[in-house]
Structure 1
Amino acid sequence: MQAGSGIQENLQGLLGVTSALVAVFDADDRLQFANESFRSVFFVGADEYPTWEEIFRRNHAAGRGAVIKATSIDAWIASVSSRRGKTRHRSFESDIIGGKWLWVTETVQSNGWMLLVASDITSISSTDRELRIDRDIALKAAQTDELTGISNRRHIFELLHQICQDKDAQPEVHICACLMDIDHFKSINDTWGHQAGDSVLANLARSVRSGIRLKDGFGRVGGEEFLLILKDCSIKSAQKQLIRLMDRIANSSLLEGRPEVTLTMSAGLTDIRTGDTTETIYSRCDKALYEAKAKGRDCICINIHDRISLVRTDLEPETSPRDRKPGVPGRAA
């Protein structure tokens, strides 16, 4: 940058007059900067700095902004959040209520901050648009768990593979992975039916997804088993975050119409090291999860260098008080 060139002033001026939508979101996905074009299209006031989720929820409720083709805004938010902010670059087409089409590019820094730039492509020939839209829909379907709307097994393992490569390139960065499993899930299906079980899985997935950072990965790997990837997170920090998530789940009603039914989870946690592969990471998590189940469930086991230690979530002072004894009335046992 040339000294004394007035670059800052001119950049501000250009951002004010360009038709391109420009916005910057921080690691918590809260808007930190947006030019007039972005604020106009997405109905954000000049002095407002909402989160990405808040922008889309209120616009959806008002019938404006982006076209959202989903029966549930919660499911749509969970699905998009499973892909948004997970890779350095992402581009896609988006249509706006009223007929406008945008080409959107998201660029993410290692610290989680995101630059969003969108250009109006409405006037460009739409001959190949249907093909591109069909491609985007197919890509989304290939990455999304149909029941829960979060990452499916294939996508979460692709993210884990990328994490391994990032770790090799930046060995000083702390990253953790955790395998989580619903305790006694079979009793839900046996007592209330498989449709109730499906509802529990979907509600739990959305609850966890909304309780973690945008840059973290979360996906369903099969049945009632989920994989969580925590970036820029030490084992100690991961442990605290897991306790908060597990308390959140245990203190929530995840089965509609049955507030007395609550659930707990068991978790197997490990750190990601240089030279790791998806197989070695999953194996350590799986061994720790198996140990957590063997120790009575509703707890976290940590696998460090194949040495497994138990963390009982009810001994953590930061958690909210709740009875964790197995078989208490109202708990799915």
Structure 2
Amino acid sequence: MAVDKEPLYEPPPVPHLPEKLTEFPPAHAPSVEHQPVLEEVIKYFSDESYVIPQTEDGQLRDEEKFWLSYECIHRYLRATKWAGAKTAITRLEDTLRWRREFGVYDLITPAHVEPEALTGKMVSFGYDVDGRPALYLRPKNQNTEESIRQMHFLTWMLERSVDLMGPGVENLALMVDFAARAKPPSLSIARMTVNILQNHYPERLGRALIVNVPFFVNVFLKLIAPFLDPVTRDKMRFNPSCVSDGLFTSDMLIGEWGGDCPFEYKHEVYWPALVQMCEKRRAKMMDTWRSLGGKVGLREWDVKCSTDFSGDVNAHDTPVQTDETTDEKADEQS
């Protein structure tokens, strides 16, 4: 007789995938041709006299230098298709301003967004087979009217997904379930969501899995398709069989998606556990970042390995790439 599993109410710890920990991921390293461009961007933001244009008190803060990692700059260069250092710098400065103006560092706190989280309409839980944190969107659990705070909540959850990415992982698995006749968001909210994801979290979407798509939602998705770049559209899969397709192990996939994980959303347990886990991990990574020099261009790989293994995994020199197609491979894998 099968024994029912005890419900799980808290998010699991960050996994450490052995195959991702042997060396600095090749997908994160530019080709020999592109390396000077990346170094030019790092040098630009490392200048002690640098200030964010059109910004009051524009000198970079520690959290902004931390954000301007080697991999972050590489992601923006890939997102701009290596159009040059100037193009990437413009995009990065747009996001630096947006992060301040939108309140990523001050306004968007757990207390501010918690009313949006009460019903579990957006949940970070588990990881796919590549170690990407899974961010579940469940519109059927919508509990508030459309407002800017909904966008703040989305941003807060994206930031927590970033916190929960282990060494060698730089994007997430977005899981959208339109079950129970969920009402799609307005076109304006959808466009704002696309803008946030594409402009301020480039290369952060590893895959987008969408299930239970009713006719009216399908029409809605076609309406917003023109606002999606081709790379993002290619990452969308409809009605996948996540376990049999090899996207998730059954123990890491929640039951309503066909997995064996007995996760249940109990806000009073899940929420403080997620907040504490992410705050502790982020604080530890900041301490590690400072111990490694606390400057623009440090690698997330080195920070995460040193954080997660207390120095057991040494910082590595960036490998020299001789294959000029490395960046194309990165786009395919991201």
TM-score by length of 2: 0.25
Query: Comparing both chains, which one has the higher relative contact order based on Cα–Cα distances under 8 Å and sequence gaps of 6 or more?
Result: 2
Q: Indicate the structure with greater helix content.
A: 2
Larger Rg: 1
TM-score by length of 1: 0.25
